Structure 1
């Protein structure tokens, strides 16, 4: 069916961590249109950039003619996946899960085509089948196919069992069976042959393949994608610090744009391959020429533009670029009120100002200076700016200093800023 080797492309782009029976899976998707799925538990109101890789991988399968199914874990999110978590998650209320399901479903709809005939994407919720099954029936239909010995030897479980301070509850321990049952139901009702997920899902995916095989004697497949790791070595997750959310109200488009601008040089071409649909040929040429005329900086901008456009659209990309020019290139003419509201949200430090005597006091309140004496020295050293304009004497704030009657950008040098919000 496919005119190109999708598995080879995924390998070349660094999108495969684990894969089962690669040759057989490759033959299957080369000659047939298959259904595949990936699950997302609504344990927060937004997805984050760690979810982009499975979504983009689903999109690649859809572009190759296959049918992607997104499974929202309306039931499993009430339990919480323990995979490689240091401690048990706090339980979420059913009401929150329902609200978060709607928000996450809306986000997902932006990445896949749900109206393209035979391989249109499908959005399902596992609460549909779990609310119909009782515990005795589940244990008889599912539990009997799993060995405790095998389950406790899975790395995600073993890691928790070995901890004397936390351990693992039976509730969390059962999550593996719930996800396995998802795969069985989707195979039975939607002919799903492949489950994809992050590398930390390998144990859960393996259990699903095992259950399908035991109950149907059919062979299904699993594929995992490398986890996106932060600079501190932690994975990007909803419960981790430093999360970059896809919801503009939780992470502004400007901050999202700046995340990609500020990645390490060694990650640029790795991320271009994984996250974008730019051809491998173009990426390889860019990497080869990275040290010519500061090309590496241009490639970071290229990546940031691609990712911000993908997640937030062209309009918000332009806003992020306006804010960047305002802060770093001192271009103030095209800045908008909504741009400054993004800065107030999370772009730079911001403080609310009611009354302030002068510039020296503002520098101290904004933590750009430790004292009025130091602030005075900075001002006379010509290192302080108000709304991108250099100030070399003490200054009393006036209405003309308040952009849109509300905001004043206070800067020390090129990189230290604070937004005064009147």
Structure 2
């Protein structure tokens, strides 16, 4: 199966500049690259589509290159953004690059890393104007959707130059690292074609073997933006989003989105996905599709150890045995629930209201009478006992459980 056939059945083909050149690059084992600007010190699940696709190209015989935008990150990509990006300091960008690269080594260890700061920082303004700017016609740039949509609302010369810098990246990788293909999301089509056109201008279209490829953006069936949870962005860094929270994010996806996500974000084969979805439809309450999705993606990002942590915490919450976890897993579990520091001199009824387990004393007393509130697995019976009467697990954590599944956390102060 060619890379195009593989991506076609997955629904991952949006635009290709030249199919023949793409297949030729696969046959010759050429490199393929995808660029990521260091806007934070970690990537998030919104980047997973491109990370998985880059790995998919690697498994199809390409040499994958993960390009860090240490240079372009100083400018900011204006593509379809509502306004000008806030520029980051050089020090912050460098720290972000380090954070992302250390993260990605664990996720896709066989990838080659490059940083466009290595060549863009060396280029003087005059060199850029002569060697790059000379090959770009103004009407050509103004016709690009990513630029045209920003002209009316405001576009600085800084951001206007971004597409030319990205084109130069492609040329540099093409000439120095045998990189024949650039991939990106559909919002990157304008920047990618700037690269293929620039290479054509350098060596002639007949001689160029450069190709560009984009995948569709992942959207959810309910119209909500993919990649956000109730608490915000879902990061790939476990110190920002724990393995448990990451696993739960995928476990809580809607049935309507599972088929697309299994095709886009996992390496399961077509027959495996079809068989899984058929089984899922027979007993949807078992959430087999969501469980497999969560297992596959958590393993890809966090490894088997990360998945094991997520499963242990999930099981502990489900079975009401969270206080039996070891200290590391307890800390992760505690970070995943709403929590608050509360004075140890507070009464228990005041404490459960303050942490959010009840909205009023009347409601709290209803829960207490029904024996529906436990603190570290001890049923709350006397509302006037002090919080100090509850022994924290590992001298730190108090888990408040309301009913069978709702958890809150208290730290005594």
Q: TM-score surpassing 0.5? A: yes
Range with greater deviation from structure 2 (147-156 or 273-282): 147-156
Whether 2:159 is the aligned partner of 1:172: answer: yes
Structure 2 equivalent of residue 118 of structure 1 = none
Structure 2 equivalent of residue 374 of structure 1 = 363
Range with greater deviation from structure 2 (384-393 or 31-40): 384-393
Whether 2:196 is the aligned partner of 1:199: answer: no
Alignment of 1:182-197 (within 5 A): 182-197=169-184
Whether 2:244 is the aligned partner of 1:257: answer: no
Counterpart of 1:234 in 2: which secondary structure?
Answer: coil
Structure 2 equivalent of residue 117 of structure 1 = none
Query: Of 38, 57, 65, which residue of structure 1 is paired with 2:61?
Result: 65
Residue 8 (structure 1) shift: 0.7
Structure 2 equivalent of residue 210 of structure 1 = 197
Residue 393 (structure 1) shift: 4.8
Counterpart of 1:249 in 2: which secondary structure?
Answer: coil
Q: Tell me, in whole angstroms, the C-alpha distance in 1 between the residues paired with 2:404 and 2:51.
A: 37
Q: Tell me, in whole angstroms, the C-alpha distance in 2 between the residues paired with 1:174 and 1:168.
A: 10
Counterpart of 2:107 in 1: which secondary structure?
Answer: coil
Structure 1 equivalent of residue 100 of structure 2 = 104
Structure 1 equivalent of residue 316 of structure 2 = 326
Q: Is the 8 A contact 1:410 1:417 kept in 2?
A: yes
Q: Is the 8 A contact 1:36 1:67 kept in 2?
A: yes
Structure 2 equivalent of residue 315 of structure 1 = 305
Residue 184 (structure 1) shift: 0.9
Q: Tell me, in whole angstroms, the C-alpha distance in 2 between the residues paired with 1:130 and 1:169.
A: 19
Q: Tell me, in whole angstroms, the C-alpha distance in 2 between the residues paired with 1:385 and 1:269.
A: 39
1:122 to 1:225, Cα distance in 2 relative to 1, 3 A? same
Residue 207 (structure 1) shift: 0.4
Structure 1 equivalent of residue 406 of structure 2 = 416
Given the two structures, how large is their TM-score scaled by the length of structure 2? 0.91
Residue 295 (structure 1) shift: 6.6
1:400 to 1:363, Cα distance in 2 relative to 1, 3 A? closer
Residue 172 (structure 1) shift: 0.8
Counterpart of 1:36 in 2: which secondary structure?
Answer: strand
1:334 to 1:308, Cα distance in 2 relative to 1, 3 A? farther
Structure 1 equivalent of residue 89 of structure 2 = 93
Deviations 1:118-164 (A, max 9, x none): xxx3211111111221112211111122222232232222222233x
Query: Of 138, 141, 144, which residue of structure 1 is paired with 2:128?
Result: 138
Residue 331 (structure 1) shift: 2.6
1:134 to 1:38, Cα distance in 2 relative to 1, 3 A? same
Q: Is the 8 A contact 2:7 2:13 kept in 1?
A: yes
Structure 2 equivalent of residue 365 of structure 1 = 354
Counterpart of 1:133 in 2: which secondary structure?
Answer: coil
Counterpart of 2:233 in 1: which secondary structure?
Answer: coil
- Two-structure CA RMSD over aligned residues (Å): 2.2
Whether 2:329 is the aligned partner of 1:339: answer: yes
Q: Tell me, in whole angstroms, the C-alpha distance in 2 between the residues paired with 1:395 and 1:315.
A: 43
Counterpart of 1:109 in 2: which secondary structure?
Answer: helix
Counterpart of 1:74 in 2: which secondary structure?
Answer: coil
Q: Unaligned stretches of 5+ in structure 1?
A: 115-120
Q: Is the 8 A contact 1:343 1:419 kept in 2?
A: no
Q: Unaligned stretches of 5+ in structure 2?
A: none
Query: Of 203, 207, 220, which residue of structure 1 is paired with 2:210?
Result: 220
1:308 to 1:174, Cα distance in 2 relative to 1, 3 A? same
Residue 367 (structure 1) shift: 1.9
Counterpart of 1:291 in 2: which secondary structure?
Answer: helix
Deviations 1:201-251 (A, max 9, x none): 1110010011000111114111112223466643649xx982111111111
Structure 2 equivalent of residue 234 of structure 1 = 225
Q: Tell me, in whole angstroms, the C-alpha distance in 1 between the residues paired with 2:96 and 2:353.
A: 41
1:340 to 1:82, Cα distance in 2 relative to 1, 3 A? same
Q: Is the 8 A contact 1:386 1:401 kept in 2?
A: no
